[in-house]
Amino acid sequence: MTTPPPEKRAAFNLSSWALDNKPLVIFLMLATLIAGLMSFARLSRNEDPPFTIKTMVVSVSWPGATTRDTTLLLTDRIEQKLEETPWLDHLDSYTRPGESVVLVNLRDDTPPAEVTKIWYQVRKKTGDIAATLPNGVQGPFFDDEFGDTFGIIYGFTAEGFSDRELRGRLDQIRADLLRTRDVGKVNLLGVQEEQIVVEFSPKRLASYGLDVQAVVRAIQAQNAVAPAGVIRLSDEQIGLSVSGALASEASLSSMTLAVNGRFLPLTDLVTIKRIAADPPTPLFRVNGKKALGLAISMSPTGNLLEFSAAVKARMSRIAANLPHGVDMTLVADQGAVVKEAVDGFVKVLAEAIVIVLAVSFVSLGARAGLVVTCSIPLVLAMTFTGMELAGVGLHRVSLGALIIALGLLVDDAMITVEAMVGRLERGWDRHSAASYAWDTTAFPMLTGTLVMIAGFLPVGFAASSAGEYCFSLFMVILIALIASWIVAVLFSPLIGAWILPKTMAAHRAGEGQFGQMLQKRLDQALARPGVTLGGATAALLLACVGATQVQEQFFPPSDRSELLVSLNLPNAASIDATEAEAKKLEALLQDDPDVARFSTYVGAGAIRFYLPMDVLLNNDNIAQTVVVAKSLAARDAIKARLEAAFRDNFPDVVARASPLELGPPVGWPLRYRVTGPDIAKVYGYARDLGGLLAGDNAVRDVNFTAGDPRKTIDIAVDQTLARAIGLSSEDIASALAQIFSGRPITAVRDQNRLVLVKLRGENVERSSLATVANLQITGADGRATPLRQIATLSYGLDDPIIWRRNRQPVITVQADAAPNVQPTTITARLQPAIDAFAAKLPDGYSVELGGAVEEAAKGNDSIVAVLPLMIGVMITLLMLQLRSFSRTALALAMAPFGLIGVVAALLPAGTPMGFVAQLGVIALAGMIIRNAVILIEEVDANIAHGATVRAAVVAATQHRARPILLTASAAILGMFPISQQIFWGPMAYAIIGGLAVATVLTLSMLPAALLLLLSHVRHEEVLR
Amino acid sequence: MQRDGRRLTIIAISALAGLAVLAACQDTTPPPPAAPRPVRTMVVDLRDRAETISQTGDIRPRYESDLGFQINGRVARRFVDVGALVNPGDVLAILDDSDVVNELKAAEAEVLSAQASAQVALAAFRRQQQLFDKKIAAQAALENAEAVWKSAEAKQQAAIAARENAVNRRNYAELVATEAGVVTAIGANRGQVVGAGQMVARVASADARDAVFAVPERLIGGAAMGMPVHVGLVADPTVTTLGVLREISPAADPVTRSYRVRVTLPNAPAAMTFGATINGTVTLGNGRVIVVPGSAITSSFGGPAVFVVDPDTARLILQPVVIARYEDGVALIRSGLRAGDRVVTAGVSKLRPDETVKLEPAP
């Protein structure tokens, strides 16, 4: 049974070269290990993979304009110009009276490197048209750092300290923090700038016969900064300065005016007080109390865990110096979350390693198993180095990819060891065994590895946000598998040469219990090849039918214990109403035992504290609370309780409690956009569509982004009468604005801050509608004219906000899905009804699908776009390896049979197929084909050695059974640890099921097919 | 082999059947529909909601007279200042009375002289009479003496009257208040030469106060005599009283195009001093309207609308309405709703027409 080793070949044999240059190879091994360790320590750690937020915000304000004017003359102009932006996907905008905000959204397939350049283009283009915008426009202002993540947030509450003092302290803390290494931005949250308000009563002023403008002018003139000149003498200059600047509200109060020959103290006419900004700018609350916040972001070059620790250390030092009354609370701590997540992943990685090692030990025996064991650290080290070079950090996707790769990367080492063991059993020496391994297995192994990598090509080249999110899956697998090949041909022979015994007992394939059972099954399959093939095909068809029943998903919700609660009041609501509702919500959370802490943002959405967050912009009618629950179960309990409370106690508010999202941000899962030229009609159609949606039982909480009206009082001025009296529309408008909104008249210079002095009507008059009707306007000559004299009032409605998409007004109908029902399922069910509805709309009005389904479609389309490339690469590799059309076709034909196992794994439990699971299923093809190729090759080799077709097939199957089963079980068992993770679960189950069934079929159906094919060919040959 | 083959087939078929059953079990039983949410509603009825119109004005006295001396002269003393309360008969100021005193003396002397002349003439007449009776004097002399006597009598009367005049003129050197009131202005000071009729003191009626407003032409049509007007101080809104509209000026002020309206304040509190700025409020009946909370208003095709609950089907109807006006927190609806309709008052931005709802139980 011993065959002598062949003569040394002339061609280059890397394995034998390795054995000949042991010191060099040992050095390389050590260097790899050290480099891997260093890289592992240096790799950036994150919870989610970094991906580019491809949105930019351009905002302009035009105080005093109506919504209509702002839309047509400001928003439309800017949108027209910005339509030229390269890589533009669509423009969203919303317009409020006097305020216009445009969101520039780039295409999903924009190369991330281009994005910064495109933002400069946007700035440039908007600057170009800035000169053509109407007079009185303020701006444009840009926010291209929309994707900045503020992972560390501290809240400060003050008891007994004024807001100003707290603000002063926070400024100091901020300055201190900015000296930390790697700090990016430090923003203050909830800061209310102080104001001095000068409140007058129009009635009282009217009775004095005073024009309020005279008062304003007097104050402005006293406080103006005007140069007093300099005396230039022959040898020096002497400066002149004139006093009069107002230092505080006390100096304002002491002002005395000289009017009409009388002296009037200012306080007789007006009330002066210093208050926080009114109406408030967005507010911040922590655990139910008003607070100021400090949000800290890291610069891109930093290491999150080190930075987090540094910041925490600094802040604890600062906290120790804070006086009693000022309390600091840690609201968000990304470092802890990331550490926990990465530790969790690393633990799972360790488990996977242990499982794979156990498999190799059990199946290969002690020594051979040890060889495989030793190659794993080398592969991991090389992978970590490769990851650092490629710029891939440690996060959810890359760590999951490592675990998936684990099951696959032991293949190469196993094959090499198998080959060596096989030769050693025949009595060859180790060196020759190693060379033989290279000769026979290196290139097939390479092809097989490349085929498996090709299965992951769609992930790497999918040009979409979802693809960018999962990109590191491809990168890590690519690096890991290539590294495994290198280790298998370079290092494993050397390790094998050390560890494997000089001689090994021969061990026949086919002996032992397992081998007997396999033989029997194989005989059964080969006896009736037709039946076997037919049965498998029938199962495949059934699986296809079953696949239609599997629910689809984009990305699952996160397993973090935070809950994001958003409150949306009607669009015309004031920030005070929003604050009241937020306080109501906080009352619910305050005594809840499941809540660890919570923070509320009133008048704005929560700041981006983790990257894939659907950030809401500043609007007076929204409030968002971030609730940190004590555990995942607690989170779900809180969610259920809140939803019950929303139904009963929050009638005017659209409230949503949702867990955090994974993957690119989506927001409301079900979204339909109704667009058309006339916003009133669009609202009507949107309402009808909402009714249609609500008709489906699985839809919850239908709401609309716009359309609800704002009440207005239109003052129709009789211009002729007004002019006869000496008043104009401008006078009336500014008189009204002065009373109700207030007008800044000057600024008091207080150390390094400008405190705005605002003139406005007294509270009683300001908050009463009757004031408008009964207003008396003082003309320039001091005479008071009742407003009714020159104007008539009419009471109507207008739109507080108009959303547009691609320059057409749009109202989005949003809804949530019932628990355990996927939005995709609901959308598919509703599609016919919605199509019928859309068909009935008049010209120019249409309904578009948005939300999770749109995002999923974008992701899926990007994957499908790369599929041809993947198939082409696979075919090329297979042709290179197999050099036969029939064999290639046969190998490719094995791939779909994985679906049987996928469906069997997902359908019974109702697990939805997410985006990641789809990627896994596509990659499964590569794994299945690889196993098939191994078998086909062996059969060909046997036939080339002169065996009959049947004998060749049987021998090949028996011989290859163990390696195929080994690799499959390593892959399958290696997936079990991550099957418990929310993100990877479905993919793990899909791969486990698919690979298991496919392996069984590879060992039964493929031989039968080969038998049929080769018999047919042989028959043909014989006939010829 | 046959048995194995059959066993294999049975296994395969049962596996396939199992898969089929599992697939069938996986049918998506739609979850139960969400129960309809409760809505807050109210039943509306027609009301008379008058519009309140308010305007500022000031307090003026009912009567105000400028008192002055009836003669020219130099003011010798002034007895009152601004704000002094005077009663009828109080002396307010006196002129330098040396002239008039002299005139009075002269008149007195005149009277004495005339008296004496009259006495003499009487005696002469009597004597003539006696003489005539004794037929000594001629009739002509008697008539002459009679005439002289009558003339002297007349001169005496004249001198007495002149003396009366001089007494009066001497009284004109005192300025006396004719009615009770308060002095609101002083026109002359001591040593000043004033002419007859020049204002020396302005006395205004203390108790009778009016509120005076300048009402624009658009509103003047609604003003009616005898209309009640609520008047309150601007400086201290808690000080209020009720007045009655007493006088409407027939002609508009040519510059401001407003009409002066006077409102009597029979029970004006003391805090409402003259010149105080006051706020007058009238309510003009504006027809019957339906009052709904402001949060009930939504829009339908650009115009205002409210959601009404159909009592039979518990579905919502989007009912367009016409709004009369807004007041604090409420909207007054002129038409579109009927009394007894049940209107949704909260959450209207989330509701849709034809939606089935559940009424919130009454608290």
Contact B145, B121 (CB under 8 A): yes
Same domain (yes/no): B198, B215? no
Angle at A977 between CA A857 and CA A495, to 5 degrees: 110
CATH of the domain at B127: 1.10.287
pLDDT digits (tens, 9 = 90+) for A733-746: 888 888 888 888 88
pLDDT(B14) > 70: no
- B255 part of a folded domain: yes
- B9 part of a folded domain: no
Distances (CA, A) of B50 to B47, B53, B56, B213, B290: 9, 9, 19, 21, 12
Strand ranges for A62-208 from DSSP E: 88-96, 99-106, 138-143, 152-158, 183-189, 194-200
Q: Which residue of A has its CA nearest to B355?
A: A691
Indicate the pLDDT class of residue A855, thresholds 50, 70 and 90: confident
**DSSP, residue by residue, A824-873:** HHHHHHHHHHHHHHHHHSPTT-EEEEEHHHHHHHHHHHHHHHHHHHHHHH
Place of tokens 């026109």: B187
Same domain (yes/no): B273, B184? no
* Cα distance between residue B164 and residue A89, in whole Å: 110
Distance of CA A423 to the CA centre of its chain: 52
What number of helices (H) and strands (E) belong to chain A?
Answer: 36, 30
Q: Of the candidates B25, B34, B346, which has its C-beta nearest A700's C-beta?
A: B34
Cβ contacts of A539 on chain B, cutoff 8 Å: 12, 15-16, 19
Q: Is A107 exposed, middle or buried (0-12, 13-18, 19+ CB in 10 A)?
A: middle
CB contact under 8 Å between A680 and B301, yes or no, is yes
Q: Of the candidates A527, A703, A707, which has its C-beta nearest B1's C-beta?
A: A527
Distance of CA A638 to the CA centre of its chain: 24
Query: Average pLDDT in the A525-540 region?
Result: 83
Indicate the pLDDT class of residue A507, thresholds 50, 70 and 90: low
Same domain (yes/no): B111, B231? no
pLDDT of residue A773: 80
Bridge pairing between strands A289-298 and A183-189: antiparallel
Interface test with A, best of B19, B58, B343 (most A CBs within 10 A): B19
Cβ contacts of A797 on chain B, cutoff 8 Å: 297, 299, 302-304
pLDDT(A840) > 50: yes
**DSSP, residue by residue, A560-614:** SSEEEEEEE--TT--HHHHHHHHHHHHHHHHT-TTEEEEEEEESSPPP--SSS--
Q: Which residue of B has its CA nearest to A683?
A: B301
**DSSP, residue by residue, A30-45:** HHHHHHHHHHHHHS-B
User: Could you tell me the residue ranges of all domains in chain A?
Assistant: 1-41+365-502, 54-146, 194-224+244-276+710-798, 512-549+884-1024
pLDDT digits (tens, 9 = 90+) for B298-357: 988 888 999 999 988 888 999 999 998 888 888 999 888 988 999 999 888 888 888 888
- φ and ψ at A107, to 5 degrees? -65, 150
Interface test with B, best of A567, A795, A824, A827 (most B CBs within 10 A): A795
Same domain (yes/no): B180, B91? yes
CB contact under 8 Å between B55 and A786, yes or no, is yes
Render the burial of B225-234: b for 16+ CB within 10 Å, e for the rest: eebebbbbbb
A-B C-beta contacts closer than 8 Å: 189
Which residues 6+ apart lie within 8 Å of A363 measured at CB? A369, A962, A965, A966, A969
- Specify the CATH number of the domain A194-224+244-276+710-798: 3.30.2090.10
The neighbouring-strand residues paired with A713 are A795
CB contact under 8 Å between B19 and A539, yes or no, is yes
Query: Average pLDDT in the A564-588 region?
Result: 92
* Closest alpha carbon to A147 in A119, A189, A111, A181: A119
Bridge pairing between strands B85-86 and B358-359: unpaired
Angle at B120 between CA B115 and CA B123, to 5 degrees: 125
DSSP A557: B
Q: Provide the 10 A C-beta neighbour count for residue A5.
A: 16
Which of these ranges, A260-264, A581-585, B336-340, has the smallest mean pLDDT?
A260-264
Q: Of the candidates B23, B215, B331, which has its C-beta nearest A545's C-beta?
A: B23
CB contact under 8 Å between A709 and B31, yes or no, is no
Which residues 6+ apart lie within 8 Å of B150 measured at CB? none
pLDDT of residue A945: 84
Cβ contacts of B39 on chain A, cutoff 8 Å: 651
* Closest alpha carbon to A828 in A862, A863, A852: A852
Q: Verify cis geometry, omega within 30 degrees of 0, for the bond prior to A279.
A: yes
Interface test with A, best of B272, B299, B356 (most A CBs within 10 A): B299
pLDDT digits (tens, 9 = 90+) for A195-209: 888 898 877 776 676
A1-41+365-502: CATH class: mainly alpha
Interface test with B, best of A542, A689, A837 (most B CBs within 10 A): A542
What sign does the dihedral A664-A666-A669-A675 (CA atoms) show?
negative
Same domain (yes/no): B89, B118? no
CB contact under 8 Å between A201 and B352, yes or no, is no
Cβ contacts of A903 on chain B, cutoff 8 Å: 19, 23
Cβ contacts of B280 on chain A, cutoff 8 Å: none
**DSSP, residue by residue, B106-134:** HHHHHHHHHHHHHHHHHHHHHHHHHHHHT
Cβ contacts of B232 on chain A, cutoff 8 Å: none
Cβ contacts of B219 on chain A, cutoff 8 Å: 786, 788
Task: Name the minimum distance, in Å, from the CA of B65 to any CA of chain A.
Answer: 24
* Cα distance between residue A754 and residue A740, in whole Å: 23
Task: Name the minimum distance, in Å, from the CA of B231 to any CA of chain A.
Answer: 14
Contact B23, A542 (CB under 8 A): yes
Task: Name the minimum distance, in Å, from the CA of B38 to any CA of chain A.
Answer: 7
User: What is the share, in percent, of chain A residues with pLDDT greater than 70?
Assistant: 97
Q: Of the candidates B40, B299, B325, which has its C-beta nearest A795's C-beta?
A: B325
CATH of the domain at B85: 2.40.50.100
- The answer as to CATH 1.20.960.40 being correct for domain A512-549+884-1024 is no
pLDDT(A1018) > 80: no
Instruction: Kindly state the tokens that stand for B309.
Output: 């609950």
Same domain (yes/no): B189, B223? no
Mean pLDDT of chain A: 86
Domain span at residue B160 reads 98-171
Cβ contacts of B23 on chain A, cutoff 8 Å: 542, 545-546, 549, 903, 907
Cβ contacts of B350 on chain A, cutoff 8 Å: 654, 702-704
pLDDT digits (tens, 9 = 90+) for A289-307: 999 999 999 887 778 888 9
Task: Name the minimum distance, in Å, from the CA of B284 to any CA of chain A.
Answer: 13
Cβ contacts of A535 on chain B, cutoff 8 Å: 9, 12, 16
Indicate the pLDDT class of residue A1, thresholds 50, 70 and 90: very low
Query: Average pLDDT in the B85-99 region?
Result: 88
Contact A29, A491 (CB under 8 A): yes
pLDDT(B247) > 70: yes
- B58 part of a folded domain: no
Distances (CA, A) of A723 to A349, A719, A792: 82, 6, 15
Radius of gyration of chain B measured on its C-alpha atoms: 48
CATH of the domain at B234: 2.40.30.170
Which residues 6+ apart lie within 8 Å of B333 measured at CB? B289, B290, B291, B292, B306, B321, B322, B323, B324
More confident residue, B280 or B13: B280
Same domain (yes/no): B192, B295? no
pLDDT of residue A777: 79
Same domain (yes/no): B82, B187? yes
Amino acid at B216: P
Q: Which residue of B has its CA nearest to A691?
A: B352
Indicate the pLDDT class of residue A780, thresholds 50, 70 and 90: low
CB contact under 8 Å between A713 and B303, yes or no, is no
Which of the given ranges, A427-436, A961-970, B312-321, has the highest pLDDT on average?
Answer: B312-321
pLDDT of residue A957: 84
Q: Which residue of B has its CA nearest to A697?
A: B33
Q: Provide the 10 A C-beta neighbour count for residue A848.
A: 14
* Closest alpha carbon to A56 in A184, A151, A147: A147
Domain count, chain B: 4
- Specify the CATH number of the domain A54-146: 3.30.70.1430
Strand ranges for A471-581 from DSSP E: 562-568
pTM: 0.80
- B142 part of a folded domain: yes
Cβ contacts of A527 on chain B, cutoff 8 Å: 1, 4-5
- B298 part of a folded domain: yes
Cβ contacts of A703 on chain B, cutoff 8 Å: 349-350
* Cα distance between residue A294 and residue A153, in whole Å: 6
CB contact under 8 Å between B31 and A688, yes or no, is no
* Cα distance between residue A889 and residue A284, in whole Å: 64
Indicate the pLDDT class of residue B15, thresholds 50, 70 and 90: low
Q: Of the candidates A543, A653, A690, which has its C-beta nearest B352's C-beta?
A: A690
Indicate the pLDDT class of residue B179, thresholds 50, 70 and 90: confident
Indicate the pLDDT class of residue A504, thresholds 50, 70 and 90: low
Query: Average pLDDT in the A361-373 region?
Result: 81
pLDDT of residue A566: 93
Same domain (yes/no): B234, B269? yes
Q: Of the candidates A527, A538, A570, which has its C-beta nearest B5's C-beta?
A: A527
Which residues 6+ apart lie within 8 Å of A369 measured at CB? A357, A360, A361, A362, A363
Instruction: Kindly state the tokens that stand for A25.
Output: 């190879």
This model of the complex carries an ipTM of 0.75
- B219 part of a folded domain: yes
pLDDT of residue B1: 47
Domains A1-41+365-502 and A512-549+884-1024 share a fold: yes
Contact A363, A434 (CB under 8 A): no
CB contact under 8 Å between B327 and A770, yes or no, is yes
Cβ contacts of B347 on chain A, cutoff 8 Å: 651-653
Q: Of the candidates B34, B234, B328, which has its C-beta nearest A204's C-beta?
A: B234
Q: Which residue of B has its CA nearest to A901?
A: B19
Query: Average pLDDT in the A939-954 region?
Result: 83
CB contact under 8 Å between B8 and A531, yes or no, is yes
pLDDT(A510) > 80: no
Return the SS3 of A232.
strand
pLDDT of residue A410: 81
CB contact under 8 Å between A725 and B256, yes or no, is yes
CB contact under 8 Å between B55 and A776, yes or no, is yes
Which of the given ranges, A298-302, A645-649, A813-817, has the highest pLDDT on average?
Answer: A813-817
Q: What is the dihedral of CA A613, A618, A622, A626, to 10 degrees?
A: 40
Q: Which residue of B has its CA nearest to A649?
A: B38
Which of these ranges, A229-238, B31-40, B347-356, has the smallest mean pLDDT?
B31-40
- B20 part of a folded domain: no
- B305 part of a folded domain: yes
Strand ranges for A895-954 from DSSP E: none
Cβ contacts of A201 on chain B, cutoff 8 Å: 234
Contact A702, B352 (CB under 8 A): yes
Cβ contacts of A570 on chain B, cutoff 8 Å: 348-349
pLDDT(A8) > 60: no
* Cα distance between residue A358 and residue A365, in whole Å: 10
Cβ contacts of B233 on chain A, cutoff 8 Å: none
Query: Average pLDDT in the A405-433 region?
Result: 82
CB contact under 8 Å between A206 and B52, yes or no, is no
What sign does the dihedral B204-B207-B208-B211 (CA atoms) show?
positive
